[in-house]
Amino acid sequence: MGLSLLAPLALGLAVLGVLPVLAHLARQTPKDRKAFGAMLLLERVVKRLRRRRRVKDPWLLLMRLLALAALFLAVSGPVLSYHDGTPEFGGSGRVVLVLDRSASMTMSDRGSTLFSRARADAVAVVGSLPEGTLLGAVVFDSEALRLTSALTTDAASIGARLADVAPTGGTSNLQAALHEARGLLGGEPGEVLLFSDEAGPRIVLDAHTEIERLVELGSAVLPRTVRPEVVRNVAVVSAHYGSGIEGGTVTLRLANFSDEPTEVACEVTLPDGATVPVFVDLPPAGEAEERITVPPEALGGVGRVSCDDPAMSIDDDRYFHLPRVGASRVLVVDGDPGDTPLRSEVYFFERALSPWGAMQSGFRPDVATPGGVLDVDTEEYRVIVLANVGDPRPLGPRLTEFVRSGGSLVIAAGDNVTADRYNAAFSSVLPSPLRRSRALADRAEQGVPLGLPDVQADIFKPFQRSGRAGFSRVRSHRVMTLEPYAESEDVRTLLQYEGDIPALVERRLGSGRVVVWTSTLDLGWTNLPLQAVYMPMVQRLVTVLGGDTSGGAARLDGLVGERIAVPLPDLAAEPDVLGPEGDVVRSRVEASQLLFQPKTAGAYQVVLPGSPPLAWVAVNSDPDESDVRPYHTVEEAESALNPELFRVEYELGTVLLGLSGLLFFGQALLMTRRRRTDEA
């Protein structure tokens, strides 16, 4: 609030205020005269003269002085100015309503949400504007959307469209909203009514440039701010997995945006459905951290943290990535156990899959004998490996059905393998019928070298940068041969020896696969287990075949409402994006990237039909949306650019002039009354 004068020099007339004082102090002639002896009454006369020179009627003097002061101030033109946050609107005839539908607007307050109150206010404003007012509407979260392509006088249509708007979990992008509003105004002056909570540390700061441009055009941004009666919210602002004892830990960080301490109950849900409850004590306007121990074995994917906070539920869930922890479900059938572990057919294969034992960074296959497979539930496994199994015919029907239902079968040759038995057991799923084994060189010789793989194939992509040359050091002196076959989309030769002798052949049957390794998994026919490429090739093979349903998938993070780009390998088909509920999300492929824009938080998957996920995407709401405290306001920003916008001025001249007249009239009445009293 401030006071200014239009004619400050007029205050010089205040010197006239001394006149009433002089009038009161002047000697007054006594009305009654009496004869007296000068010498006898001298002392008495002096006392009477002193009393006459004293100020009489101080209230009368005060009224005269105040009347003159009010008159002088009225002549000087005083103006009283003060700040008012609710300026008038509609006078320009061009109004754009901007409605915030971001996550923070979903906060509950006094039985309703901030968004519902803001939306109702916007609809009411539309109905209150004068007929013929040009109207436009913009809603915003992470992006801004015009509800009208241009300004219109159809207020009923604008009100109906605003009434149909629903809140989202997106970020507050006020800058984009004001940009769209400026576009609707077409560069001409107008009024932008903003219905928002203006909460968060960045919303107003990021929009400062657009506010400035609107002010330069002569427009005004008039906030209709909605805020909760009490600012409170608890949110999970981060969650991430880290290795450690047992299966590692998930570290949670929660923030309390209230001035009161609080306790909140949370629950961590792992991708396999296991849950871990936790209670978190939060200080006033502070953060707290909790760590949850992950079991020694857990499926990979996207986990979730859920907390119970009634103030704003949209940010009570936080999604995080969890790699596969512990063993992968791979069944290895040992066809030649040997008398010692080192002589087992699958000794090197086991070590390649699980070089660190049961720690979370490796696989831990279940090893069984051929007879023991009959008692195993094959539905628990994604990959089954037959290593030099002599007679697979008892297993044929179960394993064939296993492949046709989406499982992967790896067949490794050896001295026990007989072509006739395998052809009888797996005739409908083999890449090609097997023939007899063939010697490529004498056992004493080094054997035939393996050719270099195609690093564009999924199995060999880890060797793109280095390690590819190591395959040339792999040699085999004996292999299992196959009947001639034609390459196709379903049957492919992934590796071969010099002379075009197949080494690794794959057949696809829907989502299932059969892979034949024509040599052995041990040192029986090849030196592969002694080469550096053995362990990464075996782990990658099992991963691609589905043994680790999450290990080969990319892991990305995103925010609700923002575009997410997933890098794609060369694929024959376009993958789908599956949302948290398993529904297909709209997406498109552009420049080797899959682009989509999530509307809700949750775990998203990029998948090809019948294949493990190509990518996991953990989508969360912006942590800044959880901070519902006010930091900066549009009013403050605009007042700095246009101080007159929110200032109300009131001229006091008329009021002071009237007050002066009343005081003069009052002092006249007082004098009249005093005179009558003296005469009486």
pLDDT per position as a tens digit, 14-68? 556 566 655 555 545 555 555 555 555 555 555 555 555 555 667 767 777 777 7
Sort 491 into a burial class: Cβ within 10 Å, 0-12 / 13-18 / 19+: middle
Q: Could you tell me the pLDDT band of residue 263, with boundaries at 50, 70 and 90?
A: very high
What burial letters (b/e) apply to 527-545, b meaning 16+ CB within 10 Å? bbbebebbbebbbbbbbbb
Spatial separation of the C-alpha atoms in residues 336 and 334, rounded to whole Å:
6
Q: Taking the mean position of all CA atoms in its chain, how far away is CA 289?
A: 20
DSSP code of 526? Answer: B
| Cα–Cα separations (whole angstroms), residue 345 to 342, 445, 450, 479, 661 | 8, 22, 21, 16, 117
CB 391 within 8 A of CB 369: no
Non-local CB neighbours of 249 within 8 Å, separated by 6+ positions:
241, 242, 291, 292, 293, 294
Residue carrying structure tokens 């300004």: 151
What burial letters (b/e) apply to 8-37, b meaning 16+ CB within 10 Å? eebeeeeeebeebeeebeeeeeeeeeeeee
Q: Which amino acid is at 16?
A: L
- Residues 137-164, mean pLDDT to the nearest whole number: 95
Q: What are the tokens at 439?
A: 């010697």
| Cα–Cα separations (whole angstroms), residue 293 to 203, 227, 274 | 37, 39, 12
Order the strands of the 587-589 sheet from edge to edge: 564-567, 593-596, 587-589
Strand partners, 366: 331
| DSSP-derived pairing of the beta strands 564-567 and 191-195 | unpaired
Give the pLDDT confidence score for residue 85 in this predicted structure: 55
Of the candidates 239, 295, 249, 241, the one whose C-alpha atom is nearest the C-alpha of residue 272 is 295
- In order of start, what are the domains of the chain with their CATH numbers? 2-84+651-679 (no CATH), 94-229+629-645 (3.40.50.410), 234-323 (2.60.40.10), 330-544 (3.40.50.880), 554-620 (2.60.40.10)
Of the candidates 319, 309, 306, the one whose C-alpha atom is nearest the C-alpha of residue 282 is 309
Order the strands of the 287-293 sheet from edge to edge: 234-242, 249-256, 287-293
Give the pLDDT confidence score for residue 552 in this predicted structure: 55
Give the pLDDT confidence score for residue 65 in this predicted structure: 72
pLDDT per position as a tens digit, 300-316? 889 999 999 988 988 89
Strand partners, 603: 618
DSSP string, 381-414: -SEEEEES-S--GGGHHHHHHHHHTT-EEEEE--
Q: Could you tell me the pLDDT band of residue 496, with boundaries at 50, 70 and 90?
A: very high
Q: Could you tell me the pLDDT band of residue 11, with boundaries at 50, 70 and 90?
A: low
- Residues 607-618, mean pLDDT to the nearest whole number: 78
Of the candidates 206, 216, 156, the one whose C-alpha atom is nearest the C-alpha of residue 182 is 216
The pTM of this model reads 0.61
Q: Could you tell me the pLDDT band of residue 418, with boundaries at 50, 70 and 90?
A: very high
- Residues 177-183, mean pLDDT to the nearest whole number: 96
Sign of CA dihedral 274, 278, 282, 287: negative
Q: What are the tokens at 237?
A: 């602002």
Q: What are the tokens at 241?
A: 């997995």
pLDDT at position 100 over 80:
yes
CB 107 within 8 A of CB 233: yes
| Cα–Cα separations (whole angstroms), residue 396 to 51, 401, 408, 423 | 136, 9, 14, 10
CB 140 within 8 A of CB 351: no
CB 218 within 8 A of CB 189: yes
Q: Is 459 helix (H, G, I), strand (E, B) or coil?
A: helix
Spatial separation of the C-alpha atoms in residues 105 and 376, rounded to whole Å:
54
Strand ranges inside 1-93, DSSP E? 2-5, 78-83
Dihedral angle, C-alpha 305, 309, 310, 312, nearest 10 °: -70
| Cα–Cα separations (whole angstroms), residue 379 to 167, 401, 407 | 43, 10, 9
Give the pLDDT confidence score for residue 519 in this predicted structure: 95
Give the pLDDT confidence score for residue 360 in this predicted structure: 40
Give the pLDDT confidence score for residue 5 in this predicted structure: 52
Q: What rounded mean pLDDT belongs to the chain?
A: 84
